[in-house]
Amino acid sequence: MSWTPVYRWVRQIPRGRVVTYGQVARALRLPGGGRTAGRAMAACPPGVPWHRVLGAGGCLLTREPYSSFQRQLLAREGVEFLGARVNMARHHWHPARARKSRPPRGV
């Protein structure tokens, strides 16, 4: 199986936003669900923002030292953490909503 569609989809995630492995799997109808999306992200080539893909509820599922690195990358993008999890209410990306939303007033 080629992971190209997964990487193409993940590249669309804006800075400061995150998605879950399950969301990637549902969007692309991947057999095996979130685990398959996780395998794709584990084999991620340079240039794909792998750090923006998280476990359910905003958990960082990568092992150390990558977990600390992922947290740093997200923090640099302004992603807020609530303890060990990302604040999903604030940073979860919904591509269908993003397309329909209007720009903020005054922009």
Q: What gap in Å lies between CA 72 and CA 78, rounded to an integer?
A: 10
pLDDT of residue 96: 76
Q: How many domains does the chain have?
A: 1
Kindly report the CATH number assigned to the domain that includes residue 88.
Answer: 1.10.10.10
Q: What is the pLDDT of residue 107?
A: 45
Tell whether 44 is covered by a domain: yes
pTM, full prediction: 0.85
Secondary structure element (H or E) that encloses residue 53, with its range: strand 53-54
User: What domain range includes position 22?
Assistant: 4-100
Task: Classify each residue of 29-51 as buried b or exposed e, where b means 16 or more C-beta atoms within 10 Å of its C-beta.
Answer: ebeeebebbbebbeebeeebbbb
Q: Classify residue 107: in a domain, yes or no.
A: no
User: How far, in Å, CA of 69 to CA of 67, rounded?
Assistant: 5
58 within domain boundaries: yes
Tell whether 85 is covered by a domain. Answer: yes
Q: Per the domain annotation, does 56 fall within a domain? A: yes
Chunked in runs of 10, what are the mean pLDDT values of the chain (107 residues)?
A: 91 96 95 94 94 94 91 96 94 75 51
Interatomic CA distance for residues 99 and 29, integer angstroms: 20
Q: What is the pLDDT of residue 1?
A: 67
